[in-house]
Amino acid sequence: MTTAPTSADAAPTASHAYLPRSGTDDFSVISYDLDLGYKVATNRLDATAVIRGRANVALSAISLDLVHLRAKRVRLDGDKRTRFTQSPTHVRVKPARPIPAGGEFTVEIAYDGSPVPRRTRWGTLGWEELSDGVIVASQPSGAPTWFPCNDRPSDKAAYRITITTEQPYTVLATGELVEHTVSGGRGTWTFERTEPTATYLAAVQIGRYVLEPRRSDGVEWVIAYPPALARRVLADFAPVGRMIECFQERFGPYPFPSYTVVVTEDPLEIPLESQGMATFGASHVDGRGGSERLIAHELAHQWFGNSVGVASWTDIWLNEGFACYAEWIWSEFSGGATANTLARTHHAGLRLKPKDLVLADPGVDHMFDDRVYKRGACLLHALRRRLGDDRFFALLRGWSAARRYGTASSADFEAFAAGYSNEPLETFFDAWLRETRLPALGL
């Protein structure tokens, strides 16, 4: 006789490798319903999260990530007597009896506090105050700074996010805007995202923004920006329409109902990726197209990283290598340097850098190393040269369709690519993904 594993004895999986204390595979979240009351003036958050989940093993407890915020009240399936404990990084909910594998549950958590980013080896992440507003930058572990969650990239869920804040501010969040009301000097905005979304890709951006809607190649998109930056923003983001056209041709249909570009009044070190949205700082707009490759990069993440997500952070090259290669594809499409020229340039640069990184498992400290981006892009260019343009772009379109709204690993991509090649690719992928030596670009 065998018994189902419990949450206490479940074996660790690859998705734990880099951030073992973030999230769990013991259950999967079906949906998050977040109701956030926020005061910009005092950075005060008073919120309720309703989380529907399904047990993957018999659950003796439900552990949710929550950082720097206080859980005030917890109810499991409506039980007012639900017991819970809280540590600096987690809320642990104790059911009256174990939840069987396959069983569904609903946790409601009322919580409050003054949200701040968490400090990590990659800098501060999560909910962050601007001079006059808020941004959320969660990759890879900042989501718990603003809502209780199962913070694992493989656990995608639906979202409903309601934010109430001072009336002068515009709120942009993950999903499509379904309602906006104003009452008593405060505005309430409600967004819904039915497409499965990883926690690190859920976001809220608050500021005094002008919204300018656009439509390009059948895709609805909007630019949100401070009025003072209008001239620079409108000049720099003019190519987005043609980028959408280019990427739909190369990668397949845009995967979400719309796309939002946010430009903050504050400078930002890097642009921020989220599902259906990209956020840039004032430092990224100069009115002369100085950040064009970054604009292309963040747009490409909607296909590679957001729709097709990573099952584990070990495979982050599937996000960043693809988005980096999209920069080169856009350059080629728009009359700039060809992808071949850019691949040769960056390949030469990689030859001068240390040869101690394994692309398929770069290590937690090197997840965002530029070599992951450039070596991943060079891999794709080398694969393009082996397959030829017709098969290579058919592969990219097929990959984005086959894995739409799901997750994938390097092994999944290798197996999928094999179907587009007349010759075995095992040695090719071994050299690029599992060896530190830099392979040649090929033919």
| pLDDT given for residue 442 in this prediction | 82
For residues 143 and 260, what is the distance between their CA atoms, to the nearest angstrom?
A: 20
pLDDT digit string (tens) for 134-145? Answer: 999 999 999 999
Judge whether 277 and 257 are in contact, CB under 8 Å: no
1 pLDDT higher than 90: no
What pLDDT does 14 receive?
Answer: 53
User: Residue type at 277?
Assistant: M
DSSP string over 264-331: -SS--SS-EEETTEEEE-GGG--SS-TTHHHHHHHHHTTTBTTTBEESSGGGTHHHHHHHHHHHHHHH
What's the predicted TM-score (pTM) here?
Answer: 0.95
Residue 5 has pLDDT above 80, yes or no: no
Mean pLDDT for 246-264 is 98
Model confidence at 9: pLDDT above 50? no
Q: Answer whether residue 331 shows pLDDT above 70.
A: yes
Instruction: Assign domain 210-302 to a CATH class.
Output: alpha beta
What's the pLDDT at 195?
98
pLDDT of residue 17: 82
Contact in structure between 70 and 115 (CB atoms under 8 Å): no
pLDDT for 13:
47
User: What are the sequence ranges of the domains in the chain?
Assistant: 18-114+144-197, 210-302, 310-433
Q: CA-to-CA distance for 233 and 401, rounded, in angstroms? A: 32
Asked whether the predicted pLDDT for residue 8 surpasses 50, the reply is: no
pLDDT over 60 (residue 381): yes
As a whole number of angstroms, the distance between CA 91 and CA 88 comes to 9
Indicate the average pLDDT of the chain: 95
Buried/exposed 103-136: b ≥16 CB within 10 Å, e otherwise: eebebbbebebebbbbeeeeeebbbbbbebbbbb
Residue 443 has pLDDT above 90, yes or no: no
Task: Please state, in angstroms and as integers, the Cα–Cα distance from residue 212 to each residue in 40, 208, 215, 222, following that order.
Answer: 23, 13, 10, 5
pLDDT band with cut points at 50, 70 and 90 for residue 163: very high
CB-CB contact of 60 with 98 (8 Å): yes
> Is residue 21 within 8 Å of 89, Cβ to Cβ?
yes
Domain 18-114+144-197 belongs in CATH node 2.60.40.1730 = yes
The pLDDT value given to residue 15: 53
Beta strands in 40-132 (DSSP E): 44-55, 62-65, 70-76, 83-86, 90-94, 104-113, 118-120, 123-130
Give the pLDDT confidence score for residue 11 in this predicted structure: 33
Q: Over 80: is that where the pLDDT of 39 sits?
A: yes
Q: Is the pLDDT of residue 90 over 50?
A: yes
Query: CATH topology for 310-433?
Result: Neutral Protease; domain 2 (1.10.390)
DSSP 8-state assignment for residue 6 = B
What percentage of the chain exceeds 90 in pLDDT? 96
Would you say residue 131 has pLDDT above 70?
Answer: yes
